[in-house]
Structure 1
Amino acid sequence: MSIVAFIGLGIMGSPMAVNVQRAGHHVQAHNRSSGRAGPLVEAGGSECPTVAEAVRGASVVCLMLPDSPDVQAVMTGEDGVLAHAAEGAVVVDFSTIRPDVARELAQEAETRGLRMLDAPVSGGEAGARDGSLSVMVGGPADAVQDAGEVLRAVGRTVVHVGPAGAGQTVKAANQLMVAGHLQVLAEAVVFLEASGVELGPALEVIAGGLAGSRVLESKAEGMAQRAFEPGFRTELHHKDLGILEDAAREASVVVPVGALLAQLMASAVANGDGALDHSALLRGVLRLSGRA
């Protein structure tokens, strides 16, 4: 049984840590706010009061944190991973952060005798619970191999997409596409409802054709029921589209639809929907249509 540290037990991190524990590892977890380790402890893992204690003796250190500054603080702080992880350990950052930050942290980790992977995920809370996430991995191939059991414990599709920062770049593209699917689904739902068409049969036949998508399958019912309990919060998707815009600018690429989606997501946050599921983009369409 190997020791795996897991830092961050939020909506995604908690079930991911449980799946790593159930895969035959011993997970030592830390979360900055208390009371989140119950499911992991029940599965046989342990809760640690500090990052330093969580990473002690771990061959793999996993992070699942909200944003770039959070990852930087956990990695570089006095109580952080770089100061306390064992030499040769693999750091797997499942968070979604800026590609340039991922590259900088990977270089700093290398100077401390650590190997770091940026491994953002897609699949939402449901994918985190059932271990079916898609994992986009950037970093050295040997580290991908050494952390393979942990990666496969959380993801059904695990793909090494390139060097440090590549995983975060692929995730930015993923978030662009997901936001686009969500927005056009929201517009279709409002259009169908306003036209007096029964929504269930309409979406059923749409799902069977070229317009079918995983987003439609997983988010249409919530939109129809106006149920927006967060599987992935709007405020986090707003952050991710900011990452996309910055990375696209750095690559000298135009993303006009992405820029519009970023504005629509920003509007959702400004209107108080940031803590709701990102399918709450529907509420923005209703507001614009005078139907809120």
Structure 2
Amino acid sequence: MARIAFIGLGIMGSPMAVHLHNAGHRVVGYNRTAAKAAPLVEAGGTAAASIAEAVADADVVALMVTDTPDVVDVLTGGGGVFETARPGTLVIDFSTIRPDTAARLAEQARARGLRMVDAPVSGGEAGARDATLSIMVGGTEEDFAAARPVLDVVGRTVVHVGPSGAGQTVKAANQLVVAGNLALLAEALVFLEAHGVDAATAVEVLRGGLAGSAIMEHKAAKMIDRSFDPGFRLELHHKDLGIVTSAAREAGVVLPLGALAAQLVAAARAGGDGALDHSALFRTVARLSGRD
């Protein structure tokens, strides 16, 4: 069993760290808001007062933080992982960040005698809680093999998709597809309700046909019930779509539908819905038809 430092014990990281502890690993957690380590401590894990304390004796350092600058700071800042981890330590970044930054950080890790994989996840809070996440992994075959025992504890679908940065590229594509599906599902429900059709009944039959999707399975009821407690905050999806549009521009790729979805998500955030679940995109789509 590995000694794991888990940095970032928020809505996703906390249940993931608890799963790793329950699997028999020795988990030391760190979060800037110390109270968020409580679930791990209650499960029998340990809380550290600093990143340096968490990673001092770690075989594996796992990160689940919010954005690219946060990952850079945790890894390269004073007292950060690159400065304090022992040579040979494996760094697993579960965060969603820019692909080019992930590749650059992996190079810096290797220069310091560390190993690193980018391993962003899909599945939201429910996937983290139920250990059913989909994990797309970038890095070398050897580092992926070393990370696999950790990844298999928290994920159901774990796939090595290519070299460093490839995991983040696949995650960006995932977020592009999810945003487009959310927007179209919202439009379909507004359309159905405008014609007086019972939306829940309609979704039941749509789910069984070609229109069925994981988005419909998990998000339609939230839209119909107007229940938007966050499983994945809309403001985070806004951040992810910024990564998509930036990476697409750098590659010379045109994403006309993706650009529209990104603008709808941006409008929802600007309208005050950023802290809600990303299914709250429905509210913005409905407002466009005067049906909020």
TM-score > 0.5 by shorter chain: yes
Give the 3-state SS of the residue equivalent to 2:70 in structure 1. Answer: helix
| Corresponding residue number in structure 2 for 1:10 | 10
Runs of 4+ in 1 over 6 A off after TM superposition: none
Q: Secondary structure at the match of 1:106?
A: helix
- How far did 1:252 drift? 1.2
Give the 5 Å matches for 1:13-52: 13-52=13-52
Q: Single out whichever of 68-77 and 141-150 deviates more from structure 2.
A: 141-150
Instruction: Compute the displacement of 1:107 (Å).
Output: 0.6
Q: Does 1:267 align with 2:267?
A: yes
Q: Percent of aligned pairs with the same residue?
A: 64
Q: Paired residue for 1:84?
A: 84
Alignment of 1:1-292 (within 5 A): 1-292=1-292
Unmatched runs of 5 consecutive residues or more in structure 1: none
CA contact (8 A) 1:116 1:139 kept: yes
* In 1, Cα distance between equivalents of 2:269 and 2:197: 30
Cα distance between partner residues in 2 of 1:36 and 1:194: 43
For residue 12 of structure 1, report the CA deviation from its aligned partner: 0.7
Contact 1:26-1:44 at 8 Å conserved across structures? no
Mapped to 1, the partners of 2:260 and 2:63 lie a distance apart of 31
For the residues of structure 2 that align with 1:129 and 1:86, how far apart are their CA atoms? 30
Q: Displacement, 1:193? A: 1.0
Cα distance, 1:37 vs. partner? 1.2
Task: Give the CA deviation at 1:199.
Answer: 1.3
Q: Within 1, Cα distance between the matches of 2:180 and 2:19?
A: 30
Structure 2, unmatched stretches of 5+, are none
Q: Secondary structure at the match of 1:92?
A: strand
TM-superposed deviation, 1:43: 1.4
Residues 193-251 of structure 1 deviation map (CA, whole Å, 9 limit, x = unaligned): 11100111110000000000011010111111111011000000001001001111111
Alpha-carbon distance between aligned partners in 2 of 1:156 and 1:75, rounded to the nearest angstrom: 27
SS in 2 for 1:236: helix
1:105-143 CA-to-partner distances (Å, cap 9, x unmatched) read 001111110011010000111000111000000011111
C-alpha distance in 2 between matches for 1:233 and 1:29: 23
1:275 CA displacement: 0.4
Q: Secondary structure at the match of 2:135?
A: strand
SS of structure 2 residue aligned to 1:79: coil
Name the SS for the 2:49 alignment partner: coil
Residue 37 of structure 1 aligns to a residue whose secondary structure is helix
Secondary structure at 1:201 match in 2: helix
Per-residue deviation, residues 260-287 of structure 1 (Å, max 9, x unmatched):
1111010011000000000000000111
Secondary structure, aligned partner of 2:113? coil
Aligned length: 292
What SS does structure 2 have at the residue aligned with 1:35? helix
Partner Cα distance (2:77, 2:199) in 1: 51
Question: Equivalent residue of 2:228, what SS?
Answer: coil
Aligned-partner SS, 2:253: coil
8 Å Cα contact 1:61-1:89 kept in structure 2: yes
**Deviation by residue 1:5-47 (Cα, 9 ceiling, x = unmatched):** 1000111111111111111101101001121112111211111
Which residue type is aligned with residue 55 of structure 1?
V
Structure 1 length normalisation: TM-score? Answer: 0.99
Per-residue deviation, residues 130-171 of structure 1 (Å, max 9, x unmatched) = 110000000111111111111101100000000000000000
Q: Which amino acid aligns with 2:83?
A: A
Query: What secondary structure does 2:34 align onto?
Result: coil
